[in-house]
Amino acid sequence: MHALVKRALVGATAVALAGASTVQAQVGLTSNGPVTVQLNATRNTSITLSTDVAAASLASITDNSTANNFSGINVSATWALTGGTSLDLVGWFANPAQALDNGGNFIASSRIEGRIGAAPYAAFTNAAVGTVGQAGGSLVLWSQPVGVGNYSGLRTDPLDLRLNLTGVSTVAGNYTGTLNLQAIVQ
């Protein structure tokens, strides 16, 4: 019986060793390939503008004064570009002679001034920039250099607007108009 047990143990050990060598023979075994997957992703060029308010107001116009400040506006710009040297924010009025209207009484864009941050105020009297703006009613509010390293970006700036009515009297009433804001790559 002892010989029978011995033979069984030797046989079991042989089977275990054969299995272990099969397992060891599979270590490092790889699949066919490599199998590849092509990845494609597109980032479209874009420029997006937004403001934190839909309207700015001035409670009471003071004639013959520059102390006619509209309520504050923050302008945010986000861009993803592939070229160009600058991104310009242009403010403009479609009809510069009639930028603000009070039933046929007008305030021209030359009397409306804007600035970003601490820059000096300037009137909306310039030419269009490329295809953006209106001759005699436009103003570049900022010019952001772009190039390798910042073809994508974002910024938010305070836009200050005021009426410069130095030497001018206005007719009483409510004046309304639309300031257009648009960015263009140069």
- d(Cα 67, Cα 59) in Å, to the nearest integer? 12
Show the domains of the chain with their CATH numbers: 46-185 (2.60.40.1090)
DSSP one-letter string for 32-75: S-------------EEEEEES-S----S---TT-S-EEPPPEEE
What are the two backbone dihedrals, phi and then psi, of residue 72, each rounded to the nearest 5 degrees? -70, 150
Per-residue pLDDT of the chain (186 residues; tens, 9 = 90+): 566 656 755 565 655 555 555 556 788 898 998 999 999 999 899 999 999 999 999 999 999 999 999 999 999 999 999 999 999 999 999 999 999 999 999 999 999 999 999 999 999 999 999 999 999 999 999 999 999 989 999 999 999 999 999 999 999 999 999 999 999 999
At 15, list the tokens.
Answer: 């089977």
Q: Which amino acid is at 158?
A: P
With a threshold of 0.75, does the pTM exceed it? yes
Q: Which of 128, 157, 153 is nearest to 140 (CA)?
A: 128
**Given CA atoms 134, 135, 136, 138 in this order, what sign does their dihedral have?**
positive
Model pLDDT, residue 9: 57
pLDDT in tens, 71-93: 999 999 999 999 999 999 999 99
